[in-house]
């Protein structure tokens, strides 16, 4: 199997893949920050579970863990696909307000989540790239 150009041996799965946007790195004080995407195999979730129910469970955990502003919760369009998502902003003590977009990606017998993060006032230009990666992952990686 090839996962986005990476040869993955038979019987192996990508558990986590982290990417950052090289086109823009911001500096807040002495701290550099680049937009990033993290694709994670959800070991904590049965892939047969209702994804909207999992999204609500994740949202409840987030609300307990941090002060957050919910931006959106529900399906979004990625090409011809309707994918469940969760989007919020939260204050980071070092970087200011960060914005997050999580897209839930069912793939065969597994469920992945893709989380894109960037400084809130710079998030809009990278949001379509996160959604497009989700679309490509769904379309290109069939088990």
Domains of the chain, each with CATH number or no CATH: 22-120+128-140 (3.40.1000)
pLDDT, position 40 = 92
CA–CA distance, 128 with 9 (Å, rounded to integer): 30
Q: What is the pTM of this model?
A: 0.85
pLDDT in tens, 85-118: 999 999 988 888 999 999 999 888 889 999 999 9
Check whether 1 has a pLDDT greater than 90.
no
3-state secondary structure of 81: strand
pLDDT in tens, 32-88: 778 889 999 998 888 778 999 999 999 999 988 878 899 999 999 999 999 999 999
pLDDT, position 92 = 87
pLDDT, position 143 = 47
Centre a 10 Å sphere on the Cβ of residue 118 and count the other Cβ atoms it contains: 26
Q: What are the Cα distances from residue 72, in Å, to 29, 75, 77? A: 30, 9, 13
- Is the torsion defined by CA of 2, 42, 132, 84 positive or negative? positive
Check whether 133 has a pLDDT greater than 60.
yes
Mean pLDDT, residues 7-32 taken together: 71
Residue 115 or 16, more confident: 115
Smallest CA-to-CA distance from 140 within 103, 94, 108, 104 is with 108
Confidence of residue 28 (pLDDT cuts 50, 70, 90): low
């Amino acid at each position: 199997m090839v996962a986005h150009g990476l040869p993955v041996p038979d019987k192996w799965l990508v558990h986590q893949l982290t990417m950052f946007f090289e086109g823009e790195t911001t500096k807040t004080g002495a701290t550099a920050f680049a937009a990033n995407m993290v694709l994670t195999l959800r070991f904590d979730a049965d892939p047969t579970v209702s994804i909207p129910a999992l999204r609500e469970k994740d949202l409840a955990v987030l609300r307990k863990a941090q002060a957050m502003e919910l931006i959106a919760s529900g399906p979004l369009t990625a090409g011809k696909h309707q994918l469940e998502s969760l989007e919020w902003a939260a204050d980071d003590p070092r970087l200011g307000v960060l914005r997050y977009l999580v897209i839930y990606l069912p793939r065969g017998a597994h469920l992945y989540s893709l989380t894109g993060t960037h400084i809130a006032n710079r998030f809009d230009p990278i949001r379509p790239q996160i959604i497009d990666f989700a679309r490509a992952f769904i379309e290109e990686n069939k088990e």
